Amino acid sequence: MFSLEGVTNFIHTWLNNTFNPTLALLFEFVIVGLSVITLFAVLGLVLVLMERKVSAYMQIRLGPNRVGYKGSLQTVADTLKLAMKEGLTPDGADKFLFNLAPFVVMIVAMLIMAPIPFAKGFQMWDLNIGVLYVSAVSSVSVIGILMAGWASNNKYSLLGAMRSGAQIVSYELSAGLSIISIVVLTGSLQISDIIASQQNGWWIFKGHIPALISFVIFIIAVTAETNRAPFDLAEAESELTAGFHTEYSGMKFALFFLAEYVNIFIVCSIGAILFLGGWMPLHIGHWQGFNHVMDYVPSSIWFMGKVFFLIFVIMWFRWTFPRLRIDQLLNLEWKYLLPISMFNLLLMTLVAIMGWHF
């Protein structure tokens, strides 16, 4: 069976046999860097098209259907349009910070990709504090957003950035507590260990009701963290024009736009790893025949299938719920999600200590 692990082993062996160890390592870094950049470009094209098709399906209309087969090249045309637009810097803006902000947001997204395993043995960096690394590095993206809002010298941009900062910092707490509840069950911060612990069943099923509560809170919190509707107060068109990227145009705007969709992919990847077993197939207890059939599906298909299912759920939210006011958004976090998350973590700790999980 085709395996991405076999591909990485072949490339690693060939490079080490052809070049000295230092050059081989350097070439591996270059290959990984180019692969991540390519993945970002492909994700941007695919997820924007998916967003438009899902919204069309929800609203009983066709969506993009002119450029390419059934509109499949519409996002390519949009990208070319953005690439040809002039990138303007407004008068009175802090030019250095204004131009740096989109790159900060994109670099943070690239850094988070490091410990994510896209298939069995297909991972850039399996460090022993993978979950902590993702939580810590993802917090830095808010700096790029605040930088963009302040440097634009625009009141709408500044208000959007302040809203986004308050929103991201608030909902990180609930998302972090949901992640910790799974760490308590597995007893490890290493992502490969978390996936391996779900070999005989995914935590959303094995962890009883506390795992299900953590999953629901995690999905709500990461939807808010990525500034997605119904939590898109940072770029509320009816109030703030376009929020923190009001003054951006051309490829600088495209970087912010791309970062939003890449971040959706990243948070859904973390959700799939923690609650749905990552690349692990669906195994049910001692059903040997069923488990054997599930093992025939490539691990990369399992991972991408789970991730895109969660992405669809987040897109479903956008076209189902109305936008919240800023006070409702913060009330939801501080008065409801955070207390529930803290109690649920205690409950999950009890489940782990007593061994009540399957």
3-state SS string for 78-140: HHHHHHHCCCCCCCCCCHHHHHHHHHHHHHHHHHHCCCCCCECCECCCCCCCHHHHHHHHHCC
Q: Which two tokens stand for residue 86?
A: 């002039």
Q: What is the pLDDT of residue 236?
A: 62
Q: Which residues pair with 122 in a beta bridge?
A: 119
Predicted pLDDT at 62? 87
Q: How far, CA to CA in Å, does 271 sit from each of 45, 52, 112, 173? A: 22, 23, 14, 15
Query: Does residue 291 contact residue 284 with C-beta atoms inside 8 Å?
Result: yes
**Structure confidence by residue, pLDDT tens digits, 90-124:** 888 888 999 999 999 999 999 999 999 998 888 88
Which among 226, 221, 318, 211 has a CA at the least distance from the CA of 266? 226
pLDDT digits (tens, 9 = 90+) for 177-231: 999 999 998 988 999 999 988 888 888 988 888 999 999 999 999 999 888 878 8
Which residues make beta-bridge pairs with 119?
122
**Residue 149 class from Cβ within 10 Å (0-12 exposed, 13-18 middle, 19+ buried)?**
buried
Of 3-7, 31-35, 47-51, 336-340, the least confident = 3-7
Q: Count CA atoms closer than 13 A to 219's CA, side-chain side.
A: 20
DSSP-based helix, strand, coil % in the chain, nearest 5 = 70, 0, 30
**351 vs 3, more confident:** 351
Distances (CA, A) of 65 to 46, 52, 91, 167, 261: 15, 11, 40, 36, 22
Of 277, 330, 345, whose CA–CA distance to 119 is shortest? 277
CB 210 within 8 A of CB 120: no
pLDDT tens for 259-301 read: 889 999 999 999 999 999 888 888 877 778 888 888 888 888 9
Report residue 119: phi and psi, to 5°: -165, 175
pLDDT at 199: 84
pLDDT at site 1: 46
